[in-house]
Homo-oligomer: A and B are copies of this chain.
Amino acid sequence: MSPLTDVRALVFDVFGTVVDWRTGVARSATRLLGDRVDAERFADDWRGRYAPSMEEVRSGRRPFVPLDVLHRESVDDVLAAHGAADVPAAVRDELVLAWHRLDPWPDVVDGLRRLSARFVLAPLSNGGVALQVALARRSGLPWDAVLGAEVVGAYKPDAAVYDSAPRLLALDPAQVLMVAAHDSDLAAARERGLSTAYVHRPAEFGGRSIPPATDPAADLSVTSFTELADRLGAA
């Protein structure tokens, strides 16, 4: 008997795992900035500021603020680096909402619908609640609840974020399966007793770097949410 037979809930990393942030952010950059920036490089550079900006919170150097606030700050640096330092504040505010308007990978909606019939589903992302609600309403993601960084006031890989999922869902840690396209996220989840499933998302970085095909440390490695539904017996 595989331990995964006890799983009752699935929690998901979102940026890269559920949605294609690079294409979506580049699309908004093109819409709002025209040819003033190379849209895909702009998306990559902005995403590059993600970890350092959260590290300020994780280290305790500043109190928790939602990801939208960090994005609003980091977009100033990215615009300056791309020679677009004169972009008006209202456009910068609108650029932040690019992260609320990302499309899921093609397998996601079908896979989640099938999984939803059998499991409780929730995002466990560093993106905030309003952002997750916007993504879900845009694409029909059938979340049962929105968990993650803002609910806890801490960013992954802080243990508090992973611990919050079984606590708020009233389950044992192993009954919660963390699904992510990043092995570091899964390693941190496993450290807190969660079950783990790796999803291979080769296009996340637009081919600039290809993540490994599988994560040998995970309970399961798949290439899509529909394969995940198959493997978990969710018709």
Distance of A130 Cα from B66 Cα, bound (Å): 24
Given A68-B170, A170-B130, do A144 and B150 touch, yes or no (CB 8 Å)?
Answer: no
Q: Is the Cβ of B68 less than 8 Å from the Cβ of A129?
A: no
Number of copies: 2
Q: Is A234 an interface residue (CB 8 A)?
A: no
Contact of A169 among B130, B136, B143, B151 (CB under 8 A): B130
The smallest beta-carbon distance between A144 and chain B, in angstroms, is: 5
| Separation of A129 and B146 alpha carbons in the complex (Å) | 10
A151 partner, pick from B128, B130, B151, beta carbons under 8 A = B151
**Residues of B with C-beta under 8 A to A170:** 66, 68, 128-130
A32 close to B (CB within 8 Å)? no
Interface assignment of A168: CB less than 8 Å from any CB of chain B: yes
Inter-subunit contact A130/B68 (CB<8 Å): no
Question: A145 near B: Cβ within 8 Å?
Answer: yes
Rounded to whole angstroms, the CA-CA distance of A143 and B144 in the bound complex is 7
- Inter-chain contact B151/A144, CB cutoff 8 Å: no
Would you give the 0/1 interface string for A124-143, flagging 1 where the beta carbon is closer than 8 Å to chain B? 00001110110011000001
Question: How far is A143 from B66 in the complex, measured between Cα atoms in Å?
Answer: 22
Give Cα distance in the complex from A84 to B155, angstroms.
47
CB neighbours (8 Å) of A66 from chain B are 170
Contact of A146 among B68, B136, B145 (CB under 8 A): B145
Q: Which residues of B contact A168 (CB under 8 A)?
A: 128-130, 150-151
CA gap between A120 and B68 in the complex, in Å: 19
Add 14 more A-B contacts to A120-B133, A144-B146, A146-B146 (CB < 8 A): A68-B170, A128-B170, A129-B145, A130-B168, A130-B171, A133-B144, A133-B169, A136-B144, A143-B144, A143-B145, A145-B145, A145-B146, A151-B151, A151-B168
